[in-house]
Structure 1
Amino acid sequence: MKVLLLIESLTSGGRERRLIELVKGCESYPDIELGLIVFSDRIHYKEIYDLDIPVTILKRVPKKNPKVFYRLYKYSKEWKPDVVHSWGSMSTILSIPTTQALGIPLINGSIVDAPENLSIFNKDYFRAQLAYPFSKVVIGNSNAGLIAYNVPESKKRCIYNGFDLNRINNLESNENIRLKFQIQTAKVVGMVGSFSPRKDFITYIKAALNLLATLDDVTFLAIGDGPQLEECKKLVPSNYRKRFIFTGIQKDVESLVSIFDVGVLSTNTKVHGEGISNAILEYMALGKPTVATTGGGTNEAIVDGETGFLVAPDSVEDLVQKLTLVLTNDVLRTKMGKAARNRMEKLFMLDRMTEQYITLYRRYV
């Protein structure tokens, strides 16, 4: 069976990581032949070239150039996929003429977030509604996302992200990580994410500064890059800059997470609702409790009070309270970390995700 995957780019992001993981998972299925089309040349995940999948770049230059529809049609007619699986709202729209003309089932995988109060004027919501009639099934990585985008009951399907445990083999030693970033405190708190409007690093930083005034043995890490990075750096006074470290983009994120005592995901719910966050799965895989903003798919990943804590949006006070509770209670922290790892193994394993996708592909061939 031939499956053609379509995605706008392979920049550093959750859906892109999920596609990479699926390609890895499909290597265990010799009857599945994958092809990948990327509609730009932005490739962050260079590892895609080491996997057993042909990668074709069909750049949209300019973005509204209609020739891309024909180029996709021509490629598909020659390669003859049994199924087309789109991974974003625009790649779904681009696939519709081809799948309709050639009679190829379209698996629509565009639902990856769960915004509150979506407007019909939101471009992703509009594209989603436009594509539903042409989609055999619409996949979201959270039930909250499927609800937010008002996916028809008969077509919606939730498939959670799958984590590849091989990613946490052969990690750099904790000693080397601490030496590299000059971390001398006993405890470490970290947040992984992009410095963009969707993430609320500002609340995280304010909570950290509040905690540093009372806890003298904690270092805070902020891992990632983005347009708001410099603004966020200015929030940290000079006397705390050794205790609040901005690492920038790190290829070996898992090695940094391994030194965390607690992982944080602070979300700006005014503009974004999380699907299933890959950052949270990284924390869980490494047995770390998570303190995260309530809402969207985060509430499906975290069991409040068991694998971590959910906190109110924009609430520095709530975040400080929950972090203090976890950092000062070793028994609770260990218990939550074990529960988080167990939950990940139950719901968010790569084998489970891959099997669900393969079953879905076969249903429509």
Structure 2
Amino acid sequence: MKPNVLFIIDSFEQGGSERQALQLLRQLHSSGEVRVHLACLQDRGSLRAEAEDLGIGEIHEYPLTSFYDLNFAKQIRRFTSYVKENEIDVVHTHCFYTNIFGMTGAYLARVPARITSKGETDGFRTPTQKRAERTSFRLAHRVIANCLVVQHQLIREGLSPKRIIQHYNGLDLDRLKAAAGLSRDEALKRFALPQGRRFITIVANLRNPVKDHPMFLRAAARVRAAVPDAAFVVAGEGELMPSLRELAAALEIGDDVHFIGRCDDVASLLFASHVGVLSSKAEGFANAILEYMAASLPVVATDVGGVREAIVEGKTGHIVPSGDDEAMAARIIQVLKDDENARRMGVRGQAI
């Protein structure tokens, strides 16, 4: 009999952990070796259609309002009933909220194999939240760390090294391949971007301040002053967009920064771009960097999380201190002023 594997994700928004989970679920489903199930805490987001296309059956939602109210107990009871009725053999959670909810329910339901994930470093969670998550790790049989920095942090926080599996994020390379025969002009038209500009692009959600888009915009203003044909793309959706538009206007680069919202065609966007940027204050192993490199873009990123495990300084891109928009701008300008070296960086990055 095939083992029953249940994945739990927070939502179907275009987040790194959600996309990683669906990518792994798709591969397991295609293998035919297991029977996969999927549950979520929030049944919303653009990735919902992709999940439905897999044809794996009903996707159950367990909406939470708190970890400390009667609703949490109600959802745990629903979850444990589902797990027992469907004879789930493996529960795999993929982020902070699903770690706590899923491991609690899986432990109470006595699921034989409980796997959780950690893809964040310090900077994302409060001390109380971190204590709660450590409890969930104690209920798990294995914790997957998505980079060495995260693995070392888990060990410092008291988790046994024997329970940690360090495994880098995977990447769907087909998703990063631009359509055959696509011209740059055609790619620009897809996003209503002007011709005759060189685009510096950041792909990150606009919901979490830890992505530090203000740093990116401050660097953008410096770059624009030094490189007249430079322009900037902010790809992502979230409630921070209005304030970021206001900041761009205040920096007098409102006409040079293009907020394109959610991007379902990352391959075409990166095909039209010249530099990929990460400005985060904290990360685990950033999917955006992998996507930039797969698209043959030189990368300029802040020195956070597992960035140094992905970028070879001076060879595939540049690493700058978090919050230092002057250093970021200098490196972007350096890349833009040496096309041949930028091309070599992109080629090396894709090879890695």
Aligned match of 2:134: 129
1:108 partner letter: I
Aligned-partner Cα distance in 1 for 2:268–2:239: 25
On the 8 A contact 1:194/1:226 being kept in 2, the answer is: yes
On the 8 A contact 1:5/1:86 being kept in 2, the answer is: yes
1:192-207 equivalences under 5 Å are 192-195=203-206, 196-207=208-219
1:133 partner letter: R
Q: Give CA deviations for 1:308-334 in whole Å, capped at 9, x if unaligned.
A: 110011112111111111111122111
2:302 partner letter: T
Aligned match of 2:74: 67
Give the drift of 1:133: 2.5
On the 8 A contact 1:185/1:218 being kept in 2, the answer is: no
Aligned match of 1:211: 223
On the 8 A contact 1:58/1:68 being kept in 2, the answer is: no
State the identity %: 28
Could you tell me which runs of 5 or more consecutive residues in structure 2 were left unpaired when the two chains were aligned: none
| Bigger mean CA deviation after superposition, 327-336 or 38-47 | 38-47
Aligned-partner Cα distance in 1 for 2:138–2:77: 21
Aligned-partner Cα distance in 1 for 2:211–2:123: 15
| Bigger mean CA deviation after superposition, 45-54 or 167-176 | 167-176
Q: Would the alpha carbon gap of residues 56 and 118 (structure 1) be closer, same or farther in structure 2, given more than 3 Å must change? A: closer
Aligned match of 1:223: 235
Give the drift of 1:295: 1.6
Aligned-partner Cα distance in 1 for 2:178–2:349: 21
Q: What is the aligned counterpart of 1:40 among 42, 46, 56?
A: 42
Give the drift of 1:55: 3.9
Could you tell me which runs of 5 or more consecutive residues in structure 1 were left unpaired when the two chains were aligned: 344-365
Give the drift of 1:141: 1.2
TM-score using structure 2 length: 0.88
Aligned match of 1:361: none
Aligned match of 1:260: 273
Per the alignment, in what secondary structure is the counterpart of residue 198 of structure 1? helix
Aligned match of 1:191: 202
Give the drift of 1:240: 3.8
2:200 partner letter: V
Q: Would the alpha carbon gap of residues 312 and 103 (structure 1) be closer, same or farther in structure 2, given more than 3 Å must change? A: same
Aligned match of 2:246: 234
Q: Would the alpha carbon gap of residues 312 and 155 (structure 1) be closer, same or farther in structure 2, given more than 3 Å must change? A: same
Give the drift of 1:132: 2.6
TM-score using structure 1 length: 0.85
Q: How many residue pairs end up in the alignment?
A: 337
Q: What is the aligned counterpart of 1:165 among 160, 167, 173?
A: 173
Per the alignment, in what secondary structure is the counterpart of residue 234 of structure 1? helix
Aligned-partner Cα distance in 1 for 2:104–2:51: 27
Aligned-partner Cα distance in 2 for 1:338–1:118: 36
Give the drift of 1:173: 4.2
1:294 aligns to 2:294 (yes or no): no
Aligned-pair Cα RMSD in Å: 2.2
